[in-house]
A and B are shown apart, each in its own frame.
Chain A
Amino acid sequence: MTEHKEENKKENWEVIRMSQDDRPKVQSWNSYWELPPASVSLPIKGCAGKTGEWRTFKPVIDQEKCIKCYFCYMYCPEGTVLVDDETGVVSYDYEYCKGCGICAEMCPKKCIEMVREV
């Protein structure tokens, strides 16, 4: 393990010092040797880990009833409601959706259902 560390991973954590453009778009640390000295979060996707793992209820949208008002998109505290640029269809990033249910609560058509996962 020591050898592994001494080789090329020496300054691996320096990724946090890169500018926002140069940095990877999704934060992912794969091993002990890549980590910075202290736990810090940068404003990039996944900086708090895969928050989708926290979820108990999963939002499922009924595309038939959806009127594309994008209330869900605006109210989502985590930015995990995705809107397709061309079609305007609403979907979810289930890697990071915590399942808080705010979107379902705010939906004027009540077309988002919280489905129990676990």
Chain B
Amino acid sequence: MTEPRFFEGPQKGNLAAAYAAMDADIDVVTAYPITPQTTVVEELSILVGEKEFLDRGQKTHYLRMESEHSVGASLVGASYAGARTYSATAGQGLLYMSEMVHWMVGARLPIVVSIASRGLTGGAWNIWADYGDIISQRDSGIMIQFLATHQEIYDSILMGFNVTEHRDVMLPLFPAYGGFVLSHTAMPVKRVPWEEAQKFVIPKKDEWDHIWIDSERPMMAGALIMPQNFYAEFRIKAHEAQLKALPVIKDTMAEFEKRFGRSYGNGLVEPYMADDADVLLIGYGSIAKQAEDAVDTLRKQGYRAGALRVRTYRPFPTEDILQYIKKTKVVGVMDRGIAFGSPTAGALSTDIMAVCQRYESTRDTQIVPFIGGLGGRDITYDEQIEQFKILFELKEKGEAPKKPYKMWGTYWTGLITGPDKVPQGDEEYFGDI
């Protein structure tokens, strides 16, 4: 057998995504470039002809499309026929694909599309890490995961099909990771040997259970549903599938850990010293991983800080998050992406506030929303320490401290509020992730 060109070593996040998709034995990949995702599909165009895969009998069709909308449409078409489909996009491309994203959910197609998140264009272009793009698709019904390390990108895409193609789930999964911060930096990545990956990944089917293309057994999908028919019921079915995905994601993570020895919390949330923490900082993506370093520093100074990384954002892991909120009472929520006009300006902080209403014991939790890192601005390690200090001050004095960057109840971490806050070039590191 041909030895793989790359098996273990420093690798870029985007390339890790491409290798993961190939190791998951995808049938169809459709591609359209957009920064910072482009190198995923570039690498895939090479990998589909790589001897390593051809020798093992893997056949992957690569289609170049004329737009992201067409990428979405072709993924839907290929998936109707029962193919395992994958693509990658980002930012404006995801917005252009958005119509088909909703179609993927409505038709219940187990597509995986990885997102190298970037800032959305609002009057000026931005291509750097910001989860605003994937957050904009929050209510489309897709499953959303936020990834924090290069290895996690590889592992999550490999695990992805086990979740999406599970009979109870059958929903598309969009794993998102920060553009450039992870996509274009290199960190050690270890692949799973191809043969072992095949044993782990869910066996392929000729067709899905609910939808197929077969001239002998004709079926029509995508018809009109009248109000008195079952439109509402089918929408609720997708919500039911989201909730059913929670245990499936956990089981997949447990199975992955058993086989390959790596895990990311329970697949839904990844706590870090959260069990005995006085204050808890909840976040997602690589920034939440960086918060673990801030926790280490604060613990050395005698502060009992804890961090919780939300890995799976949709379906929302309500119980898993509440389990840690119950113990702390003072919770900071860090969003990297802005939800304009929402109560806290952050999607996650609004959700966390909502779930705290579920139990009597969590209703008095004090939740402090933070927004930062928009458009790829670094959230430095010191800023995260400061976030924790705000939480500790709130806990001790019962009142959240005033800061120049606190407005409308939200702390806008990293906001330029005066000459001393103007960034001085790139003296800060790229995030130790």
List chain A positions with a Cβ less than 8 A from chain B. Answer: 13-14, 16-17, 19-20, 29, 32, 35-43, 47-49, 53
- Kindly report which residue of chain A lies nearest to residue B223, judged by CB atoms: A41
**Assuming A13-B210, A16-B210, A17-B209, is B219 touching A39 (CB within 8 A)?**
no
CB-based contact A41/B210 at 8 Å: no
CB-based contact A38/B218 at 8 Å: no
Partner of A48, one of B106, B170, B219, B224: B224
- Kindly report which residue of chain B lies nearest to residue A43, judged by CB atoms: B218
- Kindly report which residue of chain B lies nearest to residue A39, judged by CB atoms: B234
Within 8 A of A (CB), among B217-269: 217-221, 223-226, 228-231, 233-234, 236-237, 241
Question: Residue among A19, A20, A41 with the most chain B CB within 10 A?
Answer: A41
Interface status of B108 (Cβ within 8 A of chain A):
yes
CB-based contact A38/B223 at 8 Å: no
26 example contacts (A-B, Cβ-Cβ < 8 A) are as follows A14-B209, A16-B219, A17-B209, A19-B217, A29-B230, A32-B233, A32-B237, A35-B230, A35-B233, A35-B237, A37-B108, A37-B237, A38-B106, A38-B107, A38-B210, A38-B211, A38-B237, A39-B221, A40-B210, A40-B211, A40-B219, A41-B221, A42-B220, A43-B218, A49-B226, A53-B226
A115 CB to closest chain B CB (Å) equals 23
B52 CB to closest chain A CB (Å) equals 36
A47 to B229, CA, bound (A): 11
Partner of B221, one of A17, A40, A43: A40
**Assuming A32-B233, A49-B228, A53-B228, is B218 touching A39 (CB within 8 A)?**
no
Q: Classify the secondary structure of B's interface with A.
A: loop
- Kindly report which residue of chain B lies nearest to residue A54, judged by CB atoms: B226
A47 to B230, CA, bound (A): 12
A75 CB to closest chain B CB (Å) equals 22
CB-based contact A32/B236 at 8 Å: yes
CB-based contact A35/B234 at 8 Å: yes
A14 to B220, CA, bound (A): 16
Residues of A contacting B221 in the complex (Cβ-Cβ under 8 angstroms): 38-41
Residues of A contacting B211 in the complex (Cβ-Cβ under 8 angstroms): 38, 40
CB-based contact A42/B219 at 8 Å: yes
Residues of B contacting A29 in the complex (Cβ-Cβ under 8 angstroms): 230
A35 to B223, CA, bound (A): 15
B214 CB to closest chain A CB (Å) equals 11
A29 to B106, CA, bound (A): 18
CB-based contact B230/A39 at 8 Å: yes
- Kindly report which residue of chain A lies nearest to residue B224, judged by CB atoms: A48
A35 to B233, CA, bound (A): 8
**Assuming A16-B210, A32-B236, A43-B218, is B226 touching A38 (CB within 8 A)?**
no
A102 to B219, CA, bound (A): 27
**Assuming A13-B210, A35-B237, A38-B211, is B229 touching A49 (CB within 8 A)?**
yes
**Assuming A35-B230, A36-B210, A53-B228, is B237 touching A41 (CB within 8 A)?**
no
Residues of B contacting A38 in the complex (Cβ-Cβ under 8 angstroms): 106-108, 210-211, 221, 234, 237
Partner of B106, one of A19, A20, A39, A49: A39
B383 CB to closest chain A CB (Å) equals 45
- Kindly report which residue of chain B lies nearest to residue A33, judged by CB atoms: B233
Residues of A contacting B226 in the complex (Cβ-Cβ under 8 angstroms): 49, 53
A11 to B230, CA, bound (A): 18
A37 to B233, CA, bound (A): 10
Closest 10 CB pairs of A and B: A41-B220, A38-B108, A37-B108, A37-B210, A49-B229, A36-B210, A32-B233, A40-B221, A38-B107, A39-B234
**Assuming A13-B210, A32-B233, A48-B223, is B241 touching A37 (CB within 8 A)?**
yes
A20 to B218, CA, bound (A): 10
Residues of B contacting A14 in the complex (Cβ-Cβ under 8 angstroms): 209
Residues of B contacting A17 in the complex (Cβ-Cβ under 8 angstroms): 209
CB-based contact B170/A39 at 8 Å: no
A110 to B369, CA, bound (A): 73
Question: Residue among B231, B233, B236 with the most chain A CB within 10 A?
Answer: B233
B145 CB to closest chain A CB (Å) equals 21
A53 to B224, CA, bound (A): 14
B224 CB to closest chain A CB (Å) equals 7
Residues of A contacting B220 in the complex (Cβ-Cβ under 8 angstroms): 40-43, 47
